[in-house]
Structure 1
């Protein structure tokens, strides 16, 4: 006996009068009559009907698993097939098939619920996206003066609008009316703008001629910082003045730009020369530092001080160095100065008062510094006055220290 007939015998039977029964958990149920052949053939016939139902259940399960079919329709088909089992004229494990269909029905209902929620969410998302686009269009229509870019953006919004699906018809129509109204408002405002543009361009051209004249005048200046700032201000005014017709705008711009370029080219040349000079000055001061740091302070502090003063005088005559090198150079120079001052202090303390010629020499230096300060004041040179005052104060302090040490 085949496996199919074994299952049929397990779940059904045909009695002597040909009545066909199916066996379920609820008991036997008569499902038909078989008179056309042997009982085995009858059981096989009804088993094939059961197999057809199983095949239909398999197809529904496949549709549910792939997710390609509408879960609501699939759920309805599963329920219909499940309900048909109560009267099915088939022999097989109807209880197991019923349990399977109940499980499939539960899954189908869950998927149908998820699909419904997804549809609601998609509808809300579509409405929200179109609301955002409509609001953007309204904002642009209200205040934007970027005529070309805004026109392009409104066209892009219309194109994007067509790709958004799922919004309910009422909301979609209301939002489209808002977008269309905003687009029309912008179009009218842009038309009004260009209608008055021709008259405005004449005023703009006059203002730009004035700006060109100012830029050409400034292009000859050598007040680098203030002039650069003034030219930047003119650039700001140029941008704020508006535009004339494209061809005329290009000609005006070339003249204006040429004036600026003339100034900044000269400034660049001057700054390049200054940078080169400062680099040369840096090399010279580094050489002087090497010489100063090589002075033998301990052998003769006074001679060391005299040599250092000569170096200081040369130092001032050299001129400026790059800003980032100034502090390092000054620190090294002060270190040499401090070393010499310390050595002189030690020498003064060791020399008896009666035999200390340095004290008299220091008094002479203070007197000389006082005369230099007086001459600087008479000349009215603020830089020399400041430098002379600093020198005098330093010499006075050393003199006081020397006198106290006696």
Structure 2
């Protein structure tokens, strides 16, 4: 097979690097493939069962594969993406591969290309270092940005550690955790230190939140128990006909309800519905009964209007015994009159109590005048004052006889004063009944 035929059959992607490799090989009559070098031909192998063109193409591809690796290594070095030490190791490996290559192509050019790479490494070492420095700087910036982000997250988490806005803070801390997971990773120690602060704040809040709700649950349970007792009593009173006492009791139960505190919203709503139902049942019955008795109360009011006039006619009291007897009879009638409208009855009760008070005062005055002990004390006072008057007059007479006019006058003045007291005492004594 001539070179022109091979050249037209094979288009090499490595041709720009080492020339068309098909110019450097041929296939013998026995199917052996040879590579042509400056030192002569060298058998590189055979490809049984294939045509000469296919066999040659196979060994050309082996050459191209290695040539492509050389080209790729050079390109990576030029771009600064290859670590110089790694590039040196790659050159050593490529040298061995070129030396042992069983392929068809310009082996001399390929070897030359490999040997030029160390110089390329040196030439582009500064590019690699610059790129490495740029990457390091970019990483530093990224770390700084990441640190700033996480510092901000930690600061906010610490700010929320003592919050009592349980729901909103829980949601916010969850959001902060999601943001933490998305934030760039830092070096191990910095990340660990910041995470410790972040986690500590979250745990502190969570512990306080759990303690709060445990305490709240306990308090709500106590409130529920207290309100269940209130509701049970309210329901037991729903059908009571003791209107006044039960109405007062419902008011007291309402006060207890308010003082018992707030429980769980759902429990409070259910218990309040039961309480309100019982209370409404009672007051509906009470109001219905009141409407029925409204006519009776009007009649009772008229009875009281008539009876109070009879009671007031007992005044003024001329005969205490008779007044007392009549008052007892009228009082019995008064107490037997049924329910009267409260706002109007108060005035009648006040008039009734005024008559009752007058009779009691008359009784007290009668007792005072008939009290033997008091009468005895009055007698003693009269006797003592009479004796005092007689004594002062006797002493005055002696003073006159002795010619002591001044002393006699003073003694007579004392006697006169006690005589006035004696007159008042005798008047008081005369008021006592025998």
TM-score (norm 1): 0.45
Q: Which has the larger radius of gyration?
A: 2
TM-score (norm 2): 0.43
